């Protein structure tokens, strides 16, 4: 049994404008002490997944519609509010994206750290304070004794994120969810904070779910990566495997949209066309189909399940030997993954069902021309 098991999790939001299909049945595990990267564009359901695990979805709009989440075998979704509250901070802790807004501006760092400790431990304030000093020292804040009495606005962004890390690790949780922990920081500070995070969680044996849109960040941090798109996991693999053999068109697209220093091997920048789908519509077919250059007819109607890339005798869910899985009807060939476009002779991305196909476009197969045919993004614009 893995530390965290997420099974077929479905999260939806009920808003004025209708239902938002945020997370559409995802399954994954996190092993004790393991670091899992959760990668995808904004709005792909990364953060929602983790708020759902913490049962912190915005009320009453956000609802867990289906699925199971267990931590050490305890079903988090069935847990009464008072018990899930006790687990928050103690068993699962969170660090958020913007350290500028994640700390309460009118309370001192001391108050905010001490209240976390006394909320879960039968500690006196003095003991809690001692622990807070120790923690601040641990995350590399100079003069922790005096700094404890400061207010958040008296710290720099990087220092605040260190405080957040100290607070999150105060009770040595089993799982730390870090939601874009360095996105709001300067590049030079980013590396320091990531290093600190890696170091401390390794020392404490804390499992980490690292949410990011930055493949560079996960590459150095995570042992395993889940790539998410529109509320689905589209590819999962151990980190070295994913970078060596990206196999879902979206992963290929992501890797090609970041500039790389080792661009010698034909790694030209290829942007992913279009925008993510409108999540106010129930997903039909593969969510990536409208933007995909490899799509075949089946992609429009049938959403492919997450299956092993190569036949395996036993599925491994966690650890460095985890099975490489993708959800794709027509995965790019290794050569195509390198160039970022389909190179099979005569291959044309399948037009959307029911679209009137320009004869000329069919006669002269051309990726650019077929892209013109998609009405999806436009229909979305009209409704804004």
Q: List contacts with other proteins (CB under 8 A).
A: 16, 54, 56, 60, 85-90, 93-94, 96, 98, 101-108, 111, 115-116, 119-120, 151, 153-154, 164, 167, 273-275, 291, 368, 371-372, 374-375, 377-378, 381, 384
Query: What span, in angstroms and rounded, lies between the C-alpha atoms of 334 and 309?
Result: 12
If the CB atoms of residues 27 and 111 are measured against other proteins, the closer one turns out to be 111
Strand order of the sheet with strand 74-75?
Answer: 18-30, 4-15, 62-71, 74-75
If the CB atoms of residues 244 and 367 are measured against other proteins, the closer one turns out to be 367
Between the CA of residue 220 and those of 41, 143, 198, 211, what are the distances in Å?
19, 30, 9, 13
Number of Cβ atoms within 10 Å of the Cβ of 358: 14
Minimum CB separation of residue 138 from other proteins in Å reads 18
Q: Tell me the two tokens of residue 244.
A: 């060596």
Query: How far from chain centre, in Å, is Cα 260?
Result: 22
Minimum CB separation of residue 95 from other proteins in Å reads 9
Minimum CB separation of residue 125 from other proteins in Å reads 14
Minimum CB separation of residue 319 from other proteins in Å reads 27
Query: What span, in angstroms and rounded, lies between the C-alpha atoms of 53 and 42?
Result: 18
If the CB atoms of residues 27 and 150 are measured against other proteins, the closer one turns out to be 150
If the CB atoms of residues 201 and 325 are measured against other proteins, the closer one turns out to be 201
If the CB atoms of residues 23 and 87 are measured against other proteins, the closer one turns out to be 87
Query: What span, in angstroms and rounded, lies between the C-alpha atoms of 68 and 60?
Result: 20
Minimum CB separation of residue 181 from other proteins in Å reads 13
If the CB atoms of residues 88 and 280 are measured against other proteins, the closer one turns out to be 88
Are 297 and 347 within 8 A, CB to CB?
no
Query: What span, in angstroms and rounded, lies between the C-alpha atoms of 71 and 203?
Result: 21
H helices present in the chain, as ranges: 46-53, 81-87, 109-120, 125-138, 144-147, 157-168, 187-204, 215-221, 239-244, 249-256, 297-301, 334-339, 359-363, 367-371, 376-382
Mode of pairing for the β-strands spanning 35-39 and 207-212: parallel
Buried b (16+ CB within 10 A) or exposed e, 215-254: bebbeebbbbbbbbbbbbbbbbbbbebbeebbbbbbbbbb
State the virtual CA torsion across 243, 244, 246, 252 in degrees, nearest 10: 70
Minimum CB separation of residue 164 from other proteins in Å reads 8
333-337 contacts: CB < 8 A, separation 24 or more? Answer: 334/245, 336/252, 336/294, 337/245, 337/246, 337/247, 337/252
If the CB atoms of residues 110 and 223 are measured against other proteins, the closer one turns out to be 110
Minimum CB separation of residue 170 from other proteins in Å reads 9
Minimum CB separation of residue 192 from other proteins in Å reads 21
Minimum CB separation of residue 100 from other proteins in Å reads 9
Number of Cβ atoms within 10 Å of the Cβ of 317: 16
Minimum CB separation of residue 269 from other proteins in Å reads 15
């Amino acid at each position: 049994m893995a530390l965290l098991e997420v099974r077929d999790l479905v999260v939806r939001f009920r808003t004025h404008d209708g239902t938002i299909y945020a997370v559409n049945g995802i399954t994954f595990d996190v092993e004790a002490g393991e670091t899992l990267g959760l990668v995808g564009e904004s709005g792909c359901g990364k953060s929602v997944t983790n708020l759902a695990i913490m049962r912190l979805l915005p009320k009453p709009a956000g609802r867990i519609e289906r699925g199971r989440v267990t931590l050490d075998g305890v079903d988090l979704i069935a847990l009464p509010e008072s018990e899930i509250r006790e687990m928050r901070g103690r068993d699962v802790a969170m660090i958020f994206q913007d350290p500028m807004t994640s700390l309460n501006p009118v309370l001192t760092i001391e108050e905010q750290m001490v209240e976390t400790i006394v909320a879960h431990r039968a500690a006196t304030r003095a003991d809690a304070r001692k622990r807070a000093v120790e923690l601040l020292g641990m995350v590399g804040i100079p003069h922790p004794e005096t700094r404890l009495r400061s207010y958040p606005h008296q710290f720099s962004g990087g220092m605040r994120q260190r405080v957040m890390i100290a607070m999150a690790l105060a009770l040595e949780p089993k799982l730390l969810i870090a939601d874009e922990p360095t996105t709001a920081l300067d590049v030079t500070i980013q590396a320091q904070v990531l290093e600190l995070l890696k170091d401390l969680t390794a020392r404490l044996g804390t499992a980490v779910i690292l949410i990011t849109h930055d493949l560079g960040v996960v590459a150095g941090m995570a042992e395993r990566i889940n790539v998410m798109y529109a509320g689905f996991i589209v590819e999962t693999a151990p980190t070295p495997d994913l970078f060596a053999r990206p196999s879902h068109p979206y992963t290929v697209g992501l890797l090609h949209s970041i500039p790389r220093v080792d661009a010698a091997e034909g790694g030209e920048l290829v942007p992913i066309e279009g925008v993510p789908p409108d999540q106010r519509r129930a997903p039909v077919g593969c969510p990536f189909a409208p933007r995909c250059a490899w799509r075949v007819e089946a992609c429009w109607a049938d959403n492919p399940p997450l299956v092993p890339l190569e036949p395996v005798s036993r599925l491994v869910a966690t650890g460095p030997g985890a099975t490489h899985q993708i959800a794709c009807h027509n995965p790019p060939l290794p050569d195509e993954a390198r160039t970022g476009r389909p190179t099979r002779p005569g291959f044309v991305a399948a037009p959307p069902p029911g679209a009137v196909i320009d004869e000329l476009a069919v006669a002269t197969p051309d990726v650019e021309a077929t892209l013109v045919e998609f009405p999806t993004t436009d229909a979305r614009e009209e409704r804004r």
